[in-house]
Copies of this chain bind each other. A is one copy, B any other.
Amino acid sequence: MIIGSISENKQLEKRISITPEISKKYISSGLEVLIEKGSGEHLGFSDDDFFKEGCKLESKETVLNKSNIVLQLNLPDDKNLDLLKENSVLIGNFNSNYNKEKILKISSRKISVFSLELLPRITRAQSMDILSSQANLAGYKAVLDSFAIFRKAIPMMMTAAGTISAAKVLVVGAGVAGLQAIATAKRMGAIVFSTDVRLASKEQVESLGGKFLVVEGAENLETEGGYAKEASNEFKKKQEDLITETLKKIDIVICTALIPGKKAPKIINEKMIENMKPGSIIYDLAASQGGNAAFTKADEIVEKNGVIILGETTILNKLPTSASNLYAKNLFNFVMNLYDNKNNKININLEDEIINKTLVK
């Protein structure tokens, strides 16, 4: 069995899907690993580092030609897809809703395509859950980034030259990314507020030292999978009032609210932003799905009334090493679930919820 990976488009994607550390694990599980030459260099993983672990370094074509399993982040371009061999398996984070057609075309060539954003949120799948692992880092990085561009210091400092008061941070959406954002802002000394539609999140926010903005009469909008449903209009109105009031004193907003398969909810509207203090920052992690804030533009910095709005869609490119480490480990766990060690073959067992749901069909 051969497992391989080729370079991503490094302009758009800095992460990689096999790290030297993980390649070692594949090899000790009995797989061969092929890596495209130079694919990790931008992260400080030289070809030599891979070689030392026992990988073979090959050209893109060889990798695609020979591998039974190909691990990627984004969907390779058509030219590369064509090189995939029959009965091979392609695994990655392919935005399968959006790319459905393209993927089905590949599948038709007897290539099984697994897209891991489809992973069911069951306990056993947690170690393969790329959404969690990446959202976690995104939440962390969003805070660090926004703090770095903020013109004031974050923590409270009572000094001989006067007092700097602690910055106030609002985290919109307390999912995986949101919680990590809360934790990070909190440990830097910020005063952290958060809002979410799922009732359980109140306790979770408080368990990290954050303050939860309680919308009166809130219903629980949690689906069985642990995701959020869309909120009712009444709820939205109440939430709006509360957030408007809160935002007047907030310095930094981190937006992470998402509803799977839908546009991100618009939570911070124009008027709210008007009332914010100049110099405040809105860091919108939901930008790729339209953003939680008005004015958010994907991958652009917008300034409105002195408020800086960043719509970030590729934040993990700013934390590529850690993100790759976790992503690669997620894929490894997924592959191990797929791979039949004894018979040295891939076992696409459709009884297995994990395999069944992630297979794009």
Considering only residues 123-172 of chain A, those with a C-beta below 8 Å from chain B are: 126-127, 129-130, 132-133, 136-137, 140-141, 144-145, 147-148, 151-153, 155, 157, 159-162, 164
Bound-state CA distance A162–B319 (Å) is 16
Which of chain B's residues have a CB closer than 8 A to the CB of A126? 160
The residue from B152, B157, B321 contacting A152, defined by CB atoms under 8 A apart: B321
> Which A286-335 residues have a C-beta within 8 angstroms of B?
306, 318-322, 325-327, 329-330, 333
A54 at the interface (CB under 8 A from B): no
Cβ distance A283 to chain B, nearest Cβ, rounded Å:
12
Q: Tell me whether A159 and B279 are in contact (CB under 8 A).
A: no
Q: Is A44 an interface residue (CB 8 A)?
A: yes
Q: What separation, in Å, do the CA atoms of A130 and B159 have in the docked complex?
A: 11
User: Given B145, B151, B189, B279, which contacts A187 in the complex, CB threshold below 8 Å?
Assistant: B189
Specify which of B130, B137, B159, B327 is in contact with A153 (CB 8 Å cutoff): B137
Q: Which residues of B contact A322 (CB under 8 A)?
A: 151-153, 164
Asked whether, in the complex, the Cβ of B164 is within 8 Å of the Cβ of A326, the reply is: yes
Closest B residue by C-beta to A130: B161
Q: Is A226 an interface residue (CB 8 A)?
A: no
A104 at the interface (CB under 8 A from B): no
Chain A stretch 54-99: residues in CB contact (< 8 A) with chain B: none
Residues of A at under 8 Å CB distance from B? 43-44, 126-127, 129-130, 132-133, 136-137, 140-141, 144-145, 147-148, 151-153, 155, 157, 159-162, 164, 184, 187-189, 278-279, 306, 318-322, 325-327, 329-330, 333
What would 18 A/B residue contacts be, using CB atoms closer than 8 Å?
A43-B151, A44-B306, A129-B160, A129-B161, A132-B159, A136-B157, A136-B159, A137-B153, A141-B153, A148-B148, A151-B319, A151-B322, A155-B184, A161-B327, A161-B329, A164-B322, A187-B188, A187-B189
